[in-house]
Amino acid sequence: MEKGQKKILIVDDEQHIIDILVYNLKKEGYDTIEANDGISAVNVALEEKPDLILLDIMLPKLDGLSVCKRIKNSLNVPILMLTAKDGEIDKILGLELGADDYITKPFSVRELMARVKANLRKAEAVNTPKVLEKEQEKVEEIDESKIVVGDLSLDLDKFEVKVRGRVIDLTLREFEVLKYLASQPGQVITREVLLEKVWGYEYYGDIRTVDVTVRRIREKIELDTSTPKILMTKRSVGYYIATK
């Protein structure tokens, strides 16, 4: 593998899908490794420590959702789930598995590559340490690393969210959605904009991705999800953070 080349683990029990993905990923300059079942996927991931994982849900020996959970317990790696079933989408996004994204089969290679690039870019941005040269800059950075809107506070350096002083455990994607909304309190943000800005897609993907993620955030930060006080919906438009 060339220095700086990103390594992608492909997990699927259909060899023709692996072959298509390997061909296209290599064409884009990525290094690839493969696994054909869930047990092998966990072992290969922990040994090889890839930069991103493409993970099918329907796998022999151990299903993709269990694989995702096991890997995420040990590695901080973006996982993009591949599913042939529309009904699995809520499960992927809704469970605390740590999956970063999903794509439904059959998928277009162009769409898949866009999501691979977006997730790698996001992971790189999160893992890149901030270097500050002057003491004054440090003070400014601390000030800019906090967002407080009413009962909601975000620490951008720690990736920590508090509601009424209590720390809330969010996935990285949930944190990013809340951060984007909280940085513009009171302003209604459309689902399409959230999909583009938070997920990093250069096109409009599945809007349900946003809705399911917002629902999960509400379950964690609101006292009563039926009458939210923090993360609000503007019907038929989008979402916003209440300023009062």
Residue 57 maps to which CATH number? Answer: 3.40.50.2300
Counting the structural domains of the chain, the total is 2
Tokens coding 163: 């509601």
Residue 2 domain-assigned? Answer: no
Asked if residue 117 and residue 14 are part of one domain, the reply reads yes
Asked if residue 197 and residue 119 are part of one domain, the reply reads no
Residue 137 domain-assigned? Answer: no
Q: Which of 117-126, 170-179, 198-207 has the lowest mean pLDDT?
A: 198-207
Residue 221 domain-assigned? Answer: yes
| Nearest CA-CA partner of 8 in 45, 52, 55 | 52
H or E stretch including 16? Answer: helix 15-27
pLDDT of residue 36: 95
Query: pLDDT tens for residues 106-116?
Result: 888 888 888 88
Asked if residue 104 and residue 70 are part of one domain, the reply reads yes
Between 85 and 198, the higher pLDDT residue = 198
pLDDT band for position 120 (50/70/90)?
Answer: confident
**Which of the listed residues 127, 159, 181 is the one where a domain comes to its end?**
127
Asked whether 172 and 159 are in contact (CB, 8 A), the reply is yes
Q: Which residues of 172-190 are buried (b: 16+ CB within 10 A; e: fewer)?
A: ebbbbbbbbbbeebeeebe
What share of the chain in percent tops pLDDT 70?
A: 82
Query: Stretch 226-239: mean pLDDT, rounded?
Result: 91
Q: What global pTM score does this model have?
A: 0.61
Residue 149 maps to which CATH number? Answer: 1.10.10.10
Half-sphere exposure of 23 (CA within 13 A, CB side): 8
Residue 239 confidence (pLDDT) above 90: yes
**Which of the listed residues 94, 127, 160 is the one where a domain comes to its end?**
127
Asked if residue 101 and residue 165 are part of one domain, the reply reads no
Which structural domain, as residue segments, surrounds residue 52?
Answer: 7-127
Asked if residue 219 and residue 153 are part of one domain, the reply reads yes
